[in-house]
Amino acid sequence: MKNSLNTDDTLENSGLTEEEQLLFSNARPRAYEPYPIKAVEDFANWARANSLWILAFGTGCGAIELRPLMTARFDANRFGVAGRPTPRQSSVFIIGGYASVKTLKRIIRSYEQMQGPKFVICLGICPINGGMYFDSYNTINQFDQYIPVDLYATGCMPRPEALVASIMALQKKIKAGECDGANRYVENFDWYKANQKKVIKNWDMPDYNW
């Protein structure tokens, strides 16, 4: 049985069985198009920058740095930052350091489930070039090969102050309309997908997790 919605421009979802293929969408992601009026787009960006909801998914040792952000000492709420338990409700994905291949699969799944506009901050040196795990058999070395990154906060580990600074830098970038990570992901979708499938050998999920 073939999915009746199949066209030339749909995804193959070859990791799924035939029964499962009927249950999942095979549509490609679409790029975000800004409002034609610049003032409206600027206003939307201002609103986005002041309501950054973070996905509470600790993917590495940097997850420890996320916890103090919500305490009285750092008080990230003054930037409109809030923690969210599900990718559907969040707009910022903070990659907390190293990502093993097993975690990367969950990261991809969560990132694709997030609704746009969405932004990615990478904490620490590990997502940049592997850090101390540069020769590990199970830890990826260049995170931006798999997911587009908007901002890096390097260090091992950066303290919460650095995280607050990177949130402020992200706000500045969003207000300037320079955060196009999600669009880059759509435009180079096949390249990203090929990279992801090169390291994740048991691909048993849809090609795009709607």
Partner 1 sequence: MNDLMERLQRDFGVDDITVRKPALTTFRVKKDSAETLIRELRDREGYTHLNFMTCIDYIEDGIFTLVYMLHNYDKKLSLGVHVDISRENEDMVSIHTLWAQAWTYQRELREMYGINFPGSPRLEEDFCLEGWDDIPPMRREFDTKEFSEQRFGHREGRHSEEPRDHMKVELYPNRGGDEK
Q: Give the binding site for partner 1 (CB under 8 A).
A: 100-102, 105, 128-130, 134-142, 145, 198-203
The three-class DSSP label of residue 19 is helix
Peptide bond into 117 cis (omega under 30): yes
Identify which of residues 74 and 152 has a Cβ nearer to partner 1 in the complex.
152
Q: Kindly state the smallest distance separating residue 112's Cβ from partner 1, in Å.
A: 18
Which amino acid type is present at position 144?
Answer: D
Q: Kindly state the smallest distance separating residue 192's Cβ from partner 1, in Å.
A: 14
Cα 12 from Cα 85, distance rounded (Å): 30
Identify which of residues 89 and 129 has a Cβ nearer to partner 1 in the complex.
129
Which amino acid type is present at position 9?
Answer: D
Helix intervals (H) in the chain: 18-21, 38-49, 63-66, 101-113, 126-129, 160-175, 181-187, 189-199
Identify which of residues 110 and 171 has a Cβ nearer to partner 1 in the complex.
110
Q: Kindly state the smallest distance separating residue 99's Cβ from partner 1, in Å.
A: 11
In the block, residue with structure tokens 């095979």: 26
Q: Kindly state the smallest distance separating residue 195's Cβ from partner 1, in Å.
A: 9
Q: Kindly state the smallest distance separating residue 169's Cβ from partner 1, in Å.
A: 21
Following DSSP, what letter does each residue of 126-172 receive, concatenated? HHHH-GGGTT-SSB-S-GGGTS--SEEE-SSSPPHHHHHHHHHHHHH
Q: Pick the closest to residue 119 from 142, 141, 152 (CA basis).
A: 152
Identify which of residues 17 and 77 has a Cβ nearer to partner 1 in the complex.
17
Q: Kindly state the smallest distance separating residue 104's Cβ from partner 1, in Å.
A: 10
Q: How far is CA 18 from the centre of its chain?
A: 29
Identify which of residues 95 and 140 has a Cβ nearer to partner 1 in the complex.
140
Query: How many other C-beta atoms lie within 10 A of the C-beta of residue 33?
Result: 8
Identify which of residues 17 and 142 has a Cβ nearer to partner 1 in the complex.
142
